[in-house]
Amino acid sequence: MNRAAAQTLPAMASSQRSRPAFRETLPSMTSPSPSPLMTALVGACRLVDAVTARLGKAISWLILLAILVSAVNAVVRKLFDVSSNSWLELQWVLFAAVFLLCSPWTLREDEHIRIDIVNAMLTKRARDGIDLFGHIAFLLPFSFVMMITSWPFALASYAIEEQSMNAGGLPQWPAKLLIPLGFTVLFVQGLSELVKRAAIMAGHLEETAQRAGGHQAAAEAEAERLLAAERERATPPDTLPSR
């Protein structure tokens, strides 16, 4: 194998290991012709994905608000020796809102960090099967249990207008309400991902191009770079023709 061929292998491997990226809209149906039920389910996935993306983009602005609250609280405390538990608890609530309500959007964009060198060595169908099993066996059951157990928890806190145990703190029920809201949206998005993955494996949904950014893309690019360097070292140098 010459040096040029060794350099083309990482690009070929990357294209074979590309993952679907579901953008604002899902790709069109492909052959074989899907059933009316599958068509309706994929249409529902389009709606779920759009709502999840809009919610995640809107909630992500709370990160900026949390930074401003933290900065102002620190400056006021240092300059005027004045602080309040409500400012501290507001930072926690904002972080909880971002973490819980942006997780479904992260799942939709497939941006959860994957640290698995074995997964990249498997075939496309094997990786799809692992994702399908993970959604059915772990994501959906856990989200469902959290959803049904946290709603009574949050509603009970709202009914008694639960307040912070710290002096001057915020009401507790808004923060507790974020838990069932977040896991409800995550459960619905998990169902959407399950339907899309099943449709891809059945050949009813097209794959789309791999995203150019994100943790996964950066990790795969670094892996391909190391693979190319290793192959270059293992490939003997081209011999010069004798005169």
pLDDT in 10s for each residue of the chain, 243 residues: 444 444 444 444 444 444 444 444 455 555 457 788 888 998 999 999 999 999 999 999 999 999 999 999 999 988 988 888 898 999 999 999 999 999 999 999 988 777 667 777 888 888 888 889 999 999 999 999 999 999 999 999 999 999 999 888 899 999 999 999 999 999 999 999 999 988 888 877 776 544 444 555 666 677 778 888 888 887 766 555 555
Sorted by sequence, the CB contacts under 8 Å of residue 104 that are 6+ apart come out as: 52, 55, 56, 182, 185, 186, 188, 189
Exposure class string for 204-215: b at 16+ Cβ within 10 A, else e: bbeeeebbeebe
pLDDT on residue 199 = 86
Decide: 192 and 48 in contact? Cβ < 8 Å: yes
Count of all residues that appear for the chain in the document: 243
Q: Is 227 helix (H, G, I), strand (E, B) or coil?
A: helix
Flag whether the pTM goes above 0.85.
Answer: no
pLDDT on residue 145 = 97
Which ranges constitute the DSSP H helices of 60-162?
Answer: 62-80, 85-108, 124-134, 140-159
- Domain locations in the chain as residue ranges: 35-207
pLDDT on residue 29 = 54
Distance CA 211, CA 213 (A): 6
**Burial (0-12, 13-18, 19+ Cβ within 10 Å), 101:** buried
Q: Which of 20, 52, 44 is nearest to 205 (CA)?
A: 20
